[in-house]
Amino acid sequence: MKHYIALTKPRITWLILMSTGMGYYFGLTGAVNLWALFHTILGTGLIASGTAALNQWYERDVDARMRRTDQRPLPAGEMSARNALLFGIALSILGFVELGLGVNWLSAGLGLFTLLTYLCIYTPLKRISPVSTTIGAVPGAMPPLIGFAAASGTLTAEAWVLYAILFLWQFPHFYAIAWMYREDYERGGIRMLPVVEPDGESTVRQMLLFSVLLIPVSLVPRYLDMTGNFYVAGTLAAGVAFVAACVRMSSDRSLLKARSVLLVSVIYLPVLYGLLLLDRPSL
């Protein structure tokens, strides 16, 4: 059972569900419907887990060549490719049906769109071009939309600003990872930006660009009356810290500085979500 659980990438799934919950909360127009929230989290979790399993099935040859992934269940020979494929398909179908019947078909459709774009476009594109990171950020930012649609049955400007924040956040986060493991990605045949342009100029430039853009976009919730001034002060401080970590890496492209950006990014998102929750006006 532990190998099937490993296929679902639970450490990533919790972040997806956190973002889904944020979207659900801001999609509410009244009291929380705990039953609908349960279906939303369960359905999204199943689709996310199914996507992760299918991704590992598809990339099992790549994982076998990379040190950071060669002990995953498939390259390590802990389970058959057939079982992983069936497991991923079953989870994905269950998640789609759970969202559709338990919540609404808009959220189910968004979940299906996320799965298809991730598996059919982003995953194969990683072996071809570094533009895959940009393409992958599209499904990667979908969880707030799924949650918002589950709560409201529609998508408004509030939903799209949550999407935009998560979309921009992904770039410095994943470029930091790509820089840390660039040699591993090269062994695996993954055309990440640090592999294609090993001097790191483009990588740090992208990290700086998106971390800077994240500051004004993260302030938009205040102007949509989603939150108050306490959020503005907190998210400005968090945004400046994020940019500062990227600036330090731009002048010192060491493993230590990349890990620092990664750490700041992992802290940034829960802090921003926490500020949104704490400073939201009463429904």
Verify that 138 and 160 share a domain, yes or no: no
Instruction: Please tell me the number of Cα atoms within 13 Å of 105 on its side-chain side.
Output: 0
Burial (0-12, 13-18, 19+ Cβ within 10 Å), 180: buried
Residue 31's pLDDT is 82
Verify that 136 and 93 share a domain, yes or no: yes
Verify that 121 and 213 share a domain, yes or no: no
Verify that 194 and 256 share a domain, yes or no: yes
Verify that 149 and 161 share a domain, yes or no: no
DSSP3 helix / strand / coil % (the chain, rounded to 5):
80, 0, 20
Verify that 228 and 254 share a domain, yes or no: yes
Q: What would you report as the CA-atom Rg of the chain, rounded to the nearest whole angstrom?
A: 19
Report the C-alpha gap between 25 and 70 in whole angstroms. 38
Verify that 127 and 185 share a domain, yes or no: no
- The domain of 192 spans 156-283
What are the pLDDT tens digits along the chain (283 aa)? 899 999 999 989 989 999 999 999 999 988 888 999 999 999 999 999 999 999 999 999 999 999 999 999 999 999 999 999 999 999 999 999 999 999 999 999 999 999 999 999 999 999 999 999 999 999 999 999 999 999 999 999 999 999 999 999 999 999 999 999 999 999 999 999 999 999 999 999 999 999 999 999 999 999 999 999 999 999 999 999 999 999 999 989 999 999 999 999 999 999 999 999 999 886 5
Residue 19's pLDDT is 97
CB count in 10 Å sphere of residue 222: 16
Report the C-alpha gap between 277 and 165 in whole angstroms. 15
Verify that 32 and 90 share a domain, yes or no: yes
Integer distance in angstroms from the first to the last C-alpha of the chain? 42
As for how many domains the chain has, the answer is 2
Verify that 105 and 195 share a domain, yes or no: no
Residue 169's pLDDT is 98
Report the C-alpha gap between 152 and 276 in whole angstroms. 18
